[in-house]
Amino acid sequence: MKNNPFVAYGATLGAIVLWGLSYIWMNQLIGLGIPVEYFVLVRVVIGIVFLLCFNLICGYSLKLHKKDLGTFLLLALCEPLVYFICETYGVKLTESPTYSALIISMTPVLAFVAGVVFFKEKITRLNVLGIIICLAGLTLVTWVSSTVGREFVWGVVLLLIAVVAEVGLASFTKVLSSGYKASVIVMYQFMIGTVLLLPLFLTRGLKGFDPSVYFSWAVVRPILCLALLCTAMAFTLWAVSVKHLGVAKAAVFQAMIPIVTALASFILGQEYLTGIQWIGIAIACCGVVLTQLAGVKRT
């Protein structure tokens, strides 16, 4: 893998494309009135079954070392618990998959800031310029929107918490990547996450449960897409990416998530983006790229 960067970058782009599409499928479920606590847990459980079968077929070692239990717990706390809940509710409150994906694309910026604060990396003027440009692009996109209401602000807050959890995910995955296969890391991550999500599922996820609705193809189809593509496959690809590219280098590609979401929403006729909004997205993404290409140096 180390001698084949195309595989590492291919895994990164694959994860980004699938995560970009995930906002479309989540928005569909929310529009059908399916509780977040229901489809998040179902999504995770289906993903676990798929990954378990995959790991057994491939003959990967499933041994879990005691010294890594704490790291796996923190990993599961970041995702699926904090990230999935905050992300999904964020999408619900912002009422726009494109805006939500754009806010999530701030992850590389926060990852860069975390590097400066916790790992004592030096910040350059170009780094600062990149952050400013990114924030300017985000402001431009949301400013021209005519659908933003009071709950939009709370949606943004939840999505920013999800961004923090995403940075934690990448960091803990990197720590574990030297001792486990990527798909094994993700499998245990979501197994522990299922336990953390179960109380929410039992208390809120099953409220108003109607088999004729919840087991309909309109609900099952997006859940399967989220489970197999965006949970099992995308997170495994991302673990491969983080292992071989590193946290900061992989994170820059998350700036492409809103582009994938915007294009998919546009093609499906779910959203119409003005020229100014497209420019805002481009500016934000360019700003994120600058924060990563500015030559961050360790002291």
Dump pLDDT digits (tens) for 115-132. 666 656 566 677 677 777
Query: Based on the number of CB atoms within 10 Å of its own CB, is 269 exposed (0-12), middle (13-18) or buried (19 or more)?
Result: exposed
Average pLDDT over residues 253-279: 75
Concatenating the DSSP letter of every residue in 123-192 gives --HHHHHHHHHHHHHHHHHHHT-S---HHHHHHHHHHHHHHHHHHHHHHHHHHHTTTS-HHHHHHHHHHH
Instruction: State the pLDDT at residue 296.
Output: 45
User: Which one has a higher pLDDT value, 138 or 53?
Assistant: 53
User: Which one has a higher pLDDT value, 17 or 127?
Assistant: 17
- For the question of whether the overall pTM of this predicted structure is more than 0.85, the answer is no
> Tens of pLDDT along 90-100?
877 877 766 77
The helix/strand/coil state of 208 is coil
Instruction: State the pLDDT at residue 83.
Output: 86
User: Which one has a higher pLDDT value, 134 or 187?
Assistant: 187
Instruction: State the pLDDT at residue 298.
Output: 44
The helix/strand/coil state of 297 is strand
Distances (CA, A) of 204 to 32, 39, 208: 16, 11, 9
Instruction: State the pLDDT at residue 115.
Output: 62
Cβ proximity of 72 and 192 under 8 Å:
yes
Q: How high is the mean pLDDT of the chain?
A: 81
pLDDT exceeds cutoff 50 at 1: no
Cβ proximity of 206 and 105 under 8 Å:
no
The helix/strand/coil state of 256 is helix
Report the candidate in 232, 87, 112, 99 with the shortest Cα–Cα distance to residue 167. Answer: 112
Return the half-sphere exposure (C-beta side, CA atoms, 13 A cut-off) of residue 195.
Answer: 8
> Tens of pLDDT along 129-175?
777 787 777 667 655 554 555 677 888 889 889 888 988 887 888 88
DSSP one-letter code for 258: H
DSSP one-letter code for 121: E
pLDDT band at 291 (very low <50, low <70, confident <90, very high): low
Amino acid letter, 30:
I
Instruction: State the pLDDT at residue 219.
Output: 95
Instruction: State the pLDDT at residue 214.
Output: 94
Instruction: State the pLDDT at residue 222.
Output: 95
To 10 degrees, what angle do helices 275-293 and 125-143 make?
A: 160
State how far Cα 172 lies from the chain centre.
15
pLDDT exceeds cutoff 90 at 75: yes
Cβ proximity of 170 and 111 under 8 Å:
yes
